[in-house]
Amino acid sequence: MFGGTVVRNKNIVLKLIVYLSLAGFVWTVFMTITLIMAFLLMAVMYLFFEPHFEVVFKWCCLSLSILMSVHWISNRFAKIKDYIEGA
């Protein structure tokens, strides 16, 4: 009777460790992608909008890079969740 509870608790702890490890990895990838995209967009915007570069960069490039990174992360978490649930 109590043996099943211990096994279930171990499974929960293992799933929690896996989720936290994957979340840390995904966060690292998220930050890397955001920085790379911001750098590339900054370079392109600097070529086309040199006089108003700061305004364009602040409002367009950073917003777009963060939005695209969040979209990428949400897709990754959905795939990870499906994998762990066995779908």
Q: What percent of the chain has pLDDT over 90?
A: 0
The pTM of the full predicted model, rounded to 2 decimals, is: 0.41
Return the pLDDT at 4. 54
Nearest to 37 by CA among 87, 80, 72: 72
Question: What is the spatial distance between Cα 55 and Cα 42, in angstroms, rounded to a whole number?
Answer: 11
Return the pLDDT at 53. 67
- Report CA dihedral (19, 20, 24, 25) to the nearest 10 degrees: -30
pLDDT in tens, 59-73: 777 777 778 778 888
